[in-house]
Amino acid sequence: MSTHDGHDKRPADVERFPAETAKKINSLATGLLVVGVVGAAAGYFMDAKAFPSAYLTSFFWLTTIGLGGLFFVLIQHVTRAGWSVAPRRHAEWLTAILPAAAVLFLPLIAFAPTLWEHWMGEHAHHDPLIVAKHGYLNPTFFYVRAAIYFVIWIGLSIWFYKSSSTLDSKRDDSVVEKMQAVAAPSLFLFGFSLTFAAIDWLMSLDPHWYSTIFGVYIFAGAVTAALSVLCLINIRLQGVGLLNRVSTVEHRHDLGKLLFGFVVFFAYIGFSQYFLIWYANIPEETIFYKERWVPGWQTISWMILLGHFVLPFLVLLSRHPKRNSTVLGAVAVWMLLMHWIDMYWLVKPNFDHHGAHFGIADVGALLLMLGVGAFVVARRATGSALFPLHDPRVPEAMRAENL
Amino acid sequence: MADPKGTTKTGRAPANVYAVVGMFTSPADLYHACEHLRDQGFRDFDAHTPFPVHGLERAMGLKPSPIPWIVLGGGITGLATAVLMQWWMGAIDYPWNISGKPPFALQSSIPIMFELTVLLSAFGAFFGTWALCRLPKPFDPVMQHPSFYRASDDRFFVSVEAKDPKFDVSKVKATLEKLGAQEVTEVSP
């Protein structure tokens, strides 16, 4: 596979999905969307009490995948990475989730009084701790902030995708330079918006509890999930023979290394949060882990430690599994499941105090998010090239090799 | 390492020859030379380049490095050391009540477990590389090639050592020259 001899013997890359394939992908995604809507309706009508928190769980699961994709795009531009032109395009597809997430947020407005009742409801006025936080935690400011997050996310999602798309038809280095220049300040916007969204939508479910590392924890999970999807896209596009040069086993290996790194990073952040709370032993902080250490939730807590860290760490440690499409694919699917369980573990103990009650509402909400995600990502993927065709770094990406 | 008697098994190398060294001007030529030597059945040859050449280990037919296993061994040793050390110090040797925490707790031990795992893994990688490359090595006979200093600048060298069973001075020199090597020179042990 060496390219030192000057001519590349690998089959050329296909530029776009063949019309037939694109049609199949879109109809499959539409099918998933229909299943999702029906599933969510069933979940809502059969278990209306559990549905709002189930919806929030899966909403955050999907949104963080889009945000992880956005982070991947930004970081490739900031580092001027050459190996990753194809995965970057696939991450741009993932950011199509973000405009959809704004629509998916609307039902949360209806669910808000149930979800965030501790600070939106009556007793907010009698609880001195919550009264003290009223300047930040009040419905008006809450919705204004949500609007700001979505403006940032949708703006970045569309602008970076549109700019990158211009490289599909012709080479234009000024576009690349502009994306690189915009990416750096965008990372600040990204970091702050993700952190505050995590505080607003998840941490404020229990407004007494606080953790300064919470945003980073969500970020780590988001990037893990997005990298998992990128691994799956990489494996699939090679498996069907569409990409043979810009996205190869070498890029899969690189994505696997990043996934491994973020699995470790997630554990590092998760432990840092736990460790300080364990050491300080302050009741209003330890409540978070106490709630998650009752029978039932204890099992889920162990699952996060073992399934979100120990298992993928051991599996991905060596280079061989990272280059093996079956093993890496299995780990990627597993990590997406673990990311959902992590979201479930963050949201649900605030409502189910006596152990997890997994039910139809959870399945329905997850199906809806899967359907919406598949639908918007499929539409963007089939409407664009499989990689930025005339990106000046395409030759560099084709040469990528791991020592 | 030079044979003490200065002869190889086949006896086709003069006692004063350690290796034949050839210089190439591009990584591509070096790459092809290595592929050729590998296919000819040579094993005791080496490449010297100013920067890593991707895929050269395949062209040379090198076996995978055992470094990952050394690193894993170092990491597991570090982890075990950290657990045993903290357990023995905290619970056995000098138990002390610090803000009501148990004498030995996994929670408070994890930072040290992490650190020692990383430290001994890094030692494994660093000193493992030294051991496998027999470093430090202030002198190697190959350095006697008059232009060898350019191996750290802009030239690429191949050295075929006399201890290789297929070694034959004149044949190796001819092969290297045919492959495009310049300044093909014998070096003494």
pLDDT tens for A317-343 read 999 999 999 999 999 999 999 999 999
Asked if residue B160 and residue B74 are part of one domain, the reply reads: no
Residue B177 pLDDT class (50, 70, 90 cuts): very high
Over residues A164-168, the mean pLDDT reads 95
CA nearest to A369, candidates A149, A70, A65 = A65
Q: Is the ipTM of this complex over 0.90?
A: no
Q: What is the pLDDT of residue A277?
A: 95
Would you call B54 and A1 a contact, using CB atoms and an 8 Å cutoff?
A: no
d(C-alpha A230, C-alpha A93), whole Å? 10
Q: In chain B, which residues have their Cβ closer than 8 Å to the Cβ of A278?
A: 107-108
Q: Which of residues 60-99 of B touch A (CB under 8 A)?
A: 68, 72, 99
d(C-alpha A384, C-alpha A390), whole Å? 13
Tokens representing residue A300 in the block? 């889920």
Q: What is the pLDDT of residue A354?
A: 87
- Asked if B28 reaches chain A (Cβ–Cβ under 8 Å), the answer is yes
Residue B9 pLDDT class (50, 70, 90 cuts): very low
Q: What is the pLDDT of residues A141-158, one digit of tens each?
A: 999 999 999 999 999 999
Tokens representing residue B83 in the block? 């657990």
d(C-alpha B108, C-alpha A100), whole Å? 43
Q: What is the pLDDT of residue A62?
A: 98
Q: What is the pLDDT of residues B28-44, one digit of tens each?
A: 999 999 999 999 999 99
Number of domains in chain B: 2
Residues of A with CB under 8 A from a CB of B: 1-2, 4-6, 271, 274-275, 278-279, 281, 317-319, 399, 401, 403
Asked if residue B73 and residue B56 are part of one domain, the reply reads: no
Residue A213 pLDDT class (50, 70, 90 cuts): very high
d(C-alpha A381, C-alpha A385), whole Å? 7
Q: What is the pLDDT of residues A172-202, one digit of tens each?
A: 999 999 999 999 999 999 999 999 999 999 9
Of A5, A399, A401, the CB nearest to B28: A5
Tokens representing residue A369 in the block? 């998010």
Length of chain A: 403
Would you call A275 and B110 a contact, using CB atoms and an 8 Å cutoff?
A: yes
C-beta of residue B128 within 8 angstroms of C-beta of residue B67? yes
Pairing of strands B19-24, B156-161: antiparallel
Residues 6+ apart with CB under 8 A from A30: A375
- Phi and psi, residue B20, nearest 5°: -110, 130
Of B54, B108, B111, the CB nearest to A401: B54
Q: In chain B, which residues have their Cβ closer than 8 Å to the Cβ of A281?
A: 99-100
Q: What angle do CA A309, A312, A315 make, to 5 degrees?
A: 140
d(C-alpha A71, C-alpha A91), whole Å? 9
Bridge partner residues of B158 (DSSP):
B22, B47
d(C-alpha B31, C-alpha B54), whole Å? 9
- Phi and psi, residue A398, nearest 5°: -70, -25
Would you call A401 and B110 a contact, using CB atoms and an 8 Å cutoff?
A: no
| Exposure b/e, A357-391, CB count within 10 A at least 16 = b | eeebbbbbbbbbbbbbbbbbbbbbbbebbbbbbeb
Of B31, B57, B72, the CB nearest to A4: B31
Q: What is the pLDDT of residue B1?
A: 42
Of B55, B68, B108, the CB nearest to A2: B55
Q: What is the pLDDT of residues A68-103, one digit of tens each?
A: 999 999 999 999 999 999 999 999 999 999 999 999
d(C-alpha A232, C-alpha B52), whole Å? 31
Asked if residue B107 and residue B79 are part of one domain, the reply reads: yes
Looking at the predicted structure, is the pLDDT value of residue A3 above 60?
no
How many other CB atoms are found less than 10 A from the CB of residue A166? 14
- Asked if B55 reaches chain A (Cβ–Cβ under 8 Å), the answer is yes
In a domain, B82, yes or no: yes
**Nearest chain B Cα to A272, which residue?**
B111
**Nearest chain A Cα to B114, which residue?**
A268
Q: What is the pLDDT of residues B112-152, one digit of tens each?
A: 999 999 999 999 999 999 999 999 989 999 999 999 999 99
In a domain, B1, yes or no: no
Q: What is the pLDDT of residue A5?
A: 42
- Asked if B54 reaches chain A (Cβ–Cβ under 8 Å), the answer is yes
- Run of H or E residues at B20: strand B19-24
- Phi and psi, residue B67, nearest 5°: -55, -45
Residue B13 pLDDT class (50, 70, 90 cuts): low
Residue type, A204: S
**Nearest chain A Cα to B98, which residue?**
A279
Residue type, B27: P
Q: What is the pLDDT of residues A242-274, one digit of tens each?
A: 999 999 999 999 999 999 999 999 999 999 999
Alpha helices in A47-169 (DSSP H): 51-78, 85-94, 97-115, 117-120, 128-132, 139-169
Q: In chain B, which residues have their Cβ closer than 8 Å to the Cβ of A6?
A: 28
* Contacts made by residues B126-135, CB under 8 angstroms, sequence distance 24+: B128/B66, B128/B67, B128/B70, B128/B71, B128/B74, B129/B67, B132/B65, B132/B66, B132/B67
d(C-alpha A288, C-alpha B48), whole Å? 58
Pairing of strands B182-187, B45-48: unpaired
- Phi and psi, residue A54, nearest 5°: -65, -40
Q: Provide the residue range defining the domain that includes B97.
A: 67-132
Residue type, A355: G
Residue B12 pLDDT class (50, 70, 90 cuts): low
Percent of chain A scored above 90 by pLDDT?
92
Q: What is the DSSP letter of A310?
A: I
**Nearest chain B Cα to A264, which residue?**
B114
Length of chain B: 189
**Dihedral angle at the C-alpha atoms of A353, A356, A362, A363, nearest 10 degrees?**
-170
In a domain, B3, yes or no: no
Residue type, B120: L
